[in-house]
Structure 1
Amino acid sequence: MKLKWIIVLSLSIALIGVLTACSESGDTSEAQTNPEGHAEFIAAAEPGGGSDTILRLMSEIMMEEDIVDDFINVDNRPGGNGGVAMSHLYNQRGSGDHLILANSTFLTAPLQSDYAFNYEDFSPIALLGEQSYVIVVPADSEIETFNEYVEAAEEEDLIFGSYGVGTSDHMVAMLLDDAIGQEATYLPYQSAGEAFTGLLGGHIDASAQQIGSAMEYIESGDVTPIAVTSEERSEALPDVPTAKELGYEELTWSLYRVVYGPPDMSEEDQEYWSNAFEELSQNERWIEEYQEPQMLEPDFLAGDELEEYMHDFNEVFEENLREADIIE
């Protein structure tokens, strides 16, 4: 499968962050202290960017809710499609106080650039959950349903726009083309917000957006949701069908939220942080302030289960990127 491209000035910066912490394993039912008592959450975004915002909320909750005793500082290291943050983490080999909150570019950045590492070199800590996508069209579009989108794609050259090249958002566009047997022109934007601007301005015909990010536009009536990419219908959009139930099972996709440590992180440190993030995932503030409003589907995994999950995810992702000639 090959997509037709309209290339914008730069590739998107991925939603990646880096968390840093020194640790001893233990029961996180009580506050824990790393050996040095200090941690850094390093974000691959400018202050106020996506990963920066998530990491600042994480650090606040983990400190104020006594999940850890460490002081946590957020250090911003944007650039290189997330590669700057990843390189920094890679150089902390054996450290127990550096972590990264990864998304799809944790897999793709090394494949698209000449880095000396890939995701398997890092130490898996925890999967916090997944965020599914919704395919939306402008409210004034003649397309009102997914089937109408398929019909329109058969008759004309549609323009599908989302965040970035080789991102999880982009993957939805590729899977959509494969599922319906039609090839849309893909327009990558530098952020999800810019993609919404393009959609509302009539520059693109449809877009794939995380459900949590799309809700304000759906609720305001600016866009119409035509399908979700989750296994089951979203509680936030109960009247919107899944692509799977419409007969397009291959169009099932989510963005994961996974925490990784540097290469050669000790088992003791991995256990410490796995326990801490498991407690975070069950914390009421985290659920109320991030999980619920951002439609994060909780699915905590660690250890061998997480490694298997990432292996399977990477296989699908890499295969589609190669078919689209994004990587060699």
Structure 2
Amino acid sequence: MFSLFQATHATHALRGPLLRAGLALLLGLGSGAGARADAAADAAAWPAKPVRIVVAFAPAGAADILARSLGEVLQRELKQPFVVDNRPGAGGNIGTDNAAKAPGDGYTLLVGIDTTFTVNPFIYKSMPFKGTDLRPVMMIASQGMMVAVNPRTGLRTLDQFIAQGKRSGLTLGSAGYGTPGHLASAILTHATGAKVSHVPYKGNAPASTAVLAGEVDGGIISSSAMLGQVAAGKVVPLAVTTRQRNPLVPGVPTVGELGHKDLEQEVLFALWVPAATPEPLVARIQSALEKAMKDPALRERMRANDLFYEGLTGPAAAERIQALADRYRTVIQSTGMKME
């Protein structure tokens, strides 16, 4: 028979653990509230010291130009230095890995391109970071690429380029393994039967220099890296990879006009932060970016370098990147694209 004494004894037996659990819960809630308050305070104070912008590609390329231009505006607005740290190589993996392993304190930002996340995981045997190690704050800009050749090749059209590739083969430079140019060269080879030897460099700037110097026959490279050389007559533009003609080189046809819609492609430039960055700080950085992007001089410099403002943030940016990863996985499987 269950007695009142037993009930009272049981109550006393439970009281200690329950009190301890309740105290732990209250302390936990208190510490959680304290952590949120600290995160909000840190976000409000950001930046309190210099901020490093990791660029996963070489100086003078489109990502570098964008990062430096953006950094100048942020530095002026926020009264702290924004210092670009170029870490090129491995199709953006080296710089991206460096940023992924940084503390999520708002003092390391990454400016890179989508293919580091949408192509590299499917062609590298191992990746030094996971896609979930970083989160996109803003997809800042997009840019087309240009198929261009050294004048000494004697080639003047994309059809001539393809025919020459079928006859004797050609060398084609890109910004590195896994970059949009590498992807486009694989599509070109698969779709046309041209024998194209892909030559990777550590960014668009060194790749365009290689085309100029005749180290390679041509390249599929970000248009901003080629515009100056095209204007000077030092390289021959054959096509642009955007759906519409590029207003900076309106006489150059699109790949679609020439019957190669499968080569249509654009490069997406985004700013990422380490995944551990607290939500209030992400919101603060996003707000600073949105304000900076309203700067007329920055937008004009972007246009002059063939960078078109996108402005996608949060889930919309992440969804765009995931959609591209799904598309490129199919392309890589069908073309047999791989590390040479």
Task: Name the TM tier (shorter chain).
Answer: 0.7 to 0.9
1:271 aligns with 2:283: yes
Deviations 1:270-312 (A, max 9, x none): 22222222222221121233x0221002111012211111001
- What are the equivalent positions in structure 2 for 1:214-293 lying under 5 Å apart? 214-289=226-301, 291-293=302-304
1:325 aligns with 2:334: no
CA contact (8 A) 2:166 2:194 kept: yes
Task: Tell me what 2:192 maps to.
Answer: 180
Q: Report the TM-score, using the length of structure 2 for normalisation.
A: 0.75
- What are the equivalent positions in structure 2 for 1:118-157 lying under 5 Å apart? 118-157=130-169
Please report how far the alpha carbon of residue 170 of structure 1 lies from its aligned counterpart in structure 2 after TM superposition.
1.6
Task: Tell me what 1:300 maps to.
Answer: 311
Amino acid paired to 2:339: I
Give me the whole-angstrom Cα distance separating, in 1, the residues matched to 2:40 and 2:83.
21
Segments of 5+ residues of structure 1 without an aligned counterpart are: 1-21, 26-31
Number of residues paired by the alignment? 296
Amino acid paired to 2:321: M
Stretch of structure 1 that moved more, 78-87 or 244-253: 78-87
SS at the partner of 1:282?
coil
Task: Tell me what 2:110 maps to.
Answer: 100
Amino acid paired to 2:306: M
Deviations 1:92-120 (A, max 9, x none): 45534432112146325666364463223
Stretch of structure 1 that moved more, 77-86 or 258-267: 77-86
1:59 aligns with 2:68: no
Q: Return closer, same or farther for 1:42/1:150 CA change in 2, 3 Å cut-off.
A: same
CA contact (8 A) 2:49 2:80 kept: yes
CA contact (8 A) 1:143 1:149 kept: yes
Q: Return closer, same or farther for 1:73/1:297 CA change in 2, 3 Å cut-off.
A: closer
Match of 2:85 among 58, 76, 80: 76
Q: Report the TM-score, using the length of structure 1 for normalisation.
A: 0.78
Q: Return closer, same or farther for 1:47/1:147 CA change in 2, 3 Å cut-off.
A: closer
Segments of 5+ residues of structure 2 without an aligned counterpart are: 1-37
Amino acid paired to 2:277: M
CA contact (8 A) 1:55 1:74 kept: no
Give me the whole-angstrom Cα distance separating, in 2, the residues matched to 1:52 and 1:212.
11
Amino acid paired to 1:310: I
SS at the partner of 2:251?
coil
Q: Return closer, same or farther for 1:315/1:53 CA change in 2, 3 Å cut-off.
A: same
CA contact (8 A) 2:114 2:321 kept: no
Give me the whole-angstrom Cα distance separating, in 2, the residues matched to 1:84 and 1:24.
31
SS at the partner of 2:136?
strand
Please report how far the alpha carbon of residue 23 of structure 1 lies from its aligned counterpart in structure 2 after TM superposition.
8.1
SS at the partner of 2:53?
strand
Deviations 1:167-208 (A, max 9, x none): 222222122223323331222234434433433344432211
Deviations 1:70-108 (A, max 9, x none): 513426363663445434433345534432112146325
CA contact (8 A) 2:170 2:196 kept: yes
SS at the partner of 1:250?
helix
1:310 aligns with 2:317: no
Q: Return closer, same or farther for 1:88/1:145 CA change in 2, 3 Å cut-off.
A: closer
Give me the whole-angstrom Cα distance separating, in 1, the residues matched to 2:89 and 2:146.
28
